[in-house]
Amino acid sequence: MMFWSSNLSFLENASLTALAIMTLSLLFPLYRLFKGPSLPDRIVALDQIGMIIVGIILCDVIYSRDTMVLDVVLAISFLLVFGSMIIARYLYKKTELK
Amino acid sequence: MIEIIVGILVLLSAVTIFIASVGIVRFDNLFARMHVVTKVSSFASLILLVAVNLLFLDWKVAVISVLIFHVLIFLSPISTHVVAKVSETIKKLDEESNQ
């Protein structure tokens, strides 16, 4: 609770704390991304990083009360799903050629 | 009153995302990690979308958040399924090439 200041409202304090927790939790998938034993582990870690980015942008929507950023969340979620699918297909083709 | 409920929902989703990220390091199996990414993170973003809708109460926000929710709930398991199938195929091909 070290981020709570008295000249902000409860909602702003809560969304700033949530931003701090989400940014901290970005470290764990990065560890898995660098140290993952196989390539599918790294794809899963990238998926989790994208999910955390979606959460961070939604927290920013609540903090700044700007609803235009929700379109960005929609684009990022589409990119997340089809990106990991395309990487998996590429991996499959690469191992089939071997 | 509504702001306090929204703040509690935001903190809950942040803690849920943190638990999912810890699970990605702590689980030793690929499929356990996939289960963490697909279910727990989708639940956290669902809570956040509910919080956004409670805060704004606008139909444009509701339409966009329903779209985001459907993409995250129905399309994200498909991509995870593709990754699982590819990892099984890679394992099988490696065993065949070793023999």
Q: Which residues contact A22 (CB under 8 A, 6 or more apart)?
A: A52, A55, A56, A59, B14, B17, B18
Encode burial over A10-21: b for 16+ CB neighbours within 10 A, e otherwise.
ebbbbbbbbbeb
Q: How many domains does chain B have?
A: 1
- Given a cut of 80, is residue A20 above it in pLDDT? yes
What is the pLDDT at residue A23? 92
B39 in contact with A, Cβ within 8 Å: no
Percentage helix, strand, coil for chain B under 3-state DSSP, each rounded to 5: 95, 0, 5
Encode burial over A57-92: b for 16+ CB neighbours within 10 A, e otherwise.
ebbbbbbeeebeebeebeebbeebbebbbebbeebb
B46 in contact with A, Cβ within 8 Å: no
The domain of B94 spans 2-98
Q: Which residues contact A80 (CB under 8 A, 6 or more apart)?
A: A47, A50, A51, A54, B76, B79
What is the pLDDT at residue A98? 64
- The single residue listed with the structure tokens 């990892």 is B87
Q: Which residues contact B95 (CB under 8 A, 6 or more apart)?
A: none
- Given a cut of 90, is residue B73 above it in pLDDT? no
- pLDDT above 70 coverage of chain A, percent: 96
The phi and psi torsions of A38 (rounded to 5 degrees) equal -125, 175
Contact A21, B13 (CB under 8 A): no
Q: What is the mean pLDDT of chain A?
A: 87
Inter-chain CB proximity B21 and A48 less than 8 Å: yes
Tens digit of each residue's pLDDT (9 = 90 or more) over A43-87: 999 999 999 999 999 999 999 988 888 999 999 999 988 998 888
Residues in chain A: 98
- For chain A, the domains span 10-97
Burial (0-12, 13-18, 19+ Cβ within 10 Å), B89: middle
Chain A CB contacts of B14 below 8 Å: 17-19, 21-22, 55, 59
Element (H, E) at B96: helix B76-98
B16 in contact with A, Cβ within 8 Å: no
In 3-state terms, what secondary structure has residue A3?
coil
- Given a cut of 80, is residue B24 above it in pLDDT? yes
CB-defined contacts A:B, below 8 A: 173
